[in-house]
A and B are shown apart, each in its own frame.
Chain A
Amino acid sequence: MELNEIRGKLLTLLTNVAPDIEPQAVEPDRDFRDQFDFDSMDALHFAAAVSEAFGIEIAETDYPKLSSLRGAGEFVRSRLPQKP
């Protein structure tokens, strides 16, 4: 899966978790906590959504990697099976 495709999917998951976020306003490098006042419950909801949508295991210690759109995109790509 291409990084752009992953990001698009992540944006949808993000706005599902927090319907008050405007998808076009998301700054890819900025931490969600700083950008949207994400709290621990939002972070957990996002991690659960990502884990389910992409079928990947996410340990609690991986949460910091999911804290921005770019970080989350790279994390998901690194966990998805590589193309042959």
Chain B
Amino acid sequence: MKIEFRLPSLGADMESATLTEWLKKPGERVRHGEALVTVETTKGLIDVESNDDGEVAELLVQPGTRVRVGAVLARLEVEGGAPLASATPSPPPGPPPPPPPLSMHPPAPPSPAEGKPPGGMSGRARVSPAARRRAHELGVSPEALEQSAAGGIVHIEDVERLAAQRMAGAGDARAAMRTAIGAAMARAKREIPHYYLGHEVNFGPARAWLARYNLKVPVKNRLIETVLITKAVALAAARIEGFNGYFRDGRFERAPSVHAGAAIAVRGGGLVAPALLDADRKGLPTLMEDFSALVTRVRAGHLRSGEFSAATITVTSLGADGVDVLYPIINPPQVAIVGAGAIREQPWVMDGRLVIQPILTLALAGDHRVTDGRAGARFLRTIADLLVHPEAL
């Protein structure tokens, strides 16, 4: 049977993308997880992967075309597998396929009316006054706003998204990324009731363990501190309920695996947070390899779609040049983010004595629709306990 291959949402801030290149021709086979097409977004070039095994039946969109999230890009011919909610009485032969992991279903694009107050206004008044002002500042035309208003009210972040797309189209990638980040974070601050918790961790044991480990392996196999922190966050997210997953359609959906989003700075400004898949189940060397490859792809400006849509929780760090505490903003539809401050030598009380230790301050932003400070404190303490016993990570 034929199925449709659609442009997935690669983050809350994405509305459309420009098709750059087809990586498969009609008649060619494509496997689940294999890249089918490259698109250009405000985050750079992204390879979009197929969610199915099959054969390319037809390509419906030409390179250079700008397409909206959800648009059908191609049709694939797949074996068997009745369409979902099929009325066929007998199940397909063979064991039923396991339910696909959450990562394979990118977060649904926000519907135009999502999270917006019911429109009591009519006609042209569907654009909020603040949005209209911002549109004027950014040079977005009233016609574009009216189009965007279909079915809902246009808010300031919708205007910024429109402007970001236009800038990306005009080749101003940096400004486009900045505007897209602004739109996603505005949505986060508007919709998510954040609470914040902080906790200091003695990073001495982790640092000593890391130094011993790195002495034994060649340079390219060495681990960095961020990988230890990411692994500890992933393990804690798998253990403590309410931090790993998505808040969608008014409820929390727990994710079965932990795909840890790693916030990576883009040189010259901007930020992307692609995912390290199954971070809780991977050993440190494998996780390090994945992380290393991810940074290389970010630097080259070429990521994969699975990495973008998959993250179920995010870890962010300002690195050695950072400051003591980083208060992060949740990346919707996720429900938690952990910020790691710069690790600095500080006075620390240990067994009743004052010693100097490298101290890491972790800050958690949690979603109050899902958890409370009490659960958040357990989550942060679990991360801290894991970091004090790095050999168990």
* Chain A contact residues, CB within 8 Å of chain B: 17-21, 33, 36-37, 39-42, 44-45, 47-48, 51-52, 58-60
Contacts and interface: CB of A to CB of B under 8 A. Distances in A.
Contacts of A37: 265, 267
Interface string B180-218: 000000000000000000000000000000010011001
Interface of B: 211, 214-215, 218-220, 222, 224-226, 265, 267-268, 291-292, 295-296, 299-301, 319-321
B3 to A, nearest CB: 36
A65 to B, nearest CB: 14
A60 B267 contact: no
A26 to B, nearest CB: 13
Given A37-B267, A39-B265, A45-B292, A58 B320 contact: no
B219 A44 contact: yes
Given A21-B267, A40-B319, 9 more contacts: A33-B321, A41-B224, A41-B292, A42-B295, A42-B299, A44-B224, A48-B219, A48-B222, A60-B214
B220 A48 contact: yes
Contact of A60 (B215, B299, B300): B215
Contacts, number: 54
Given A52-B220, A60-B211, A45 B296 contact: yes
Nearest to B300: A19
9 contacts: A20-B301, A33-B320, A36-B267, A41-B224, A41-B295, A45-B295, A47-B219, A52-B220, A60-B214
A40 B222 contact: no
Contacts of A41: 224, 226, 291-292, 295
Contacts of B321: 33
A14 to B, nearest CB: 12
Contacts of A39: 265, 295, 319
Contacts of B296: 45
A45 B296 CA distance: 9
Contacts of B220: 48, 51-52
A55 to B, nearest CB: 12
A48 B265 CA distance: 21
Contacts of A33: 320-321
A17 B220 CA distance: 13
Contacts of B215: 59-60
Contact of B219 (A17, A36, A42, A51): A51
Given A40-B224, A40-B225, A58 B219 contact: yes
Contacts of B301: 19-20
B293 to A, nearest CB: 10
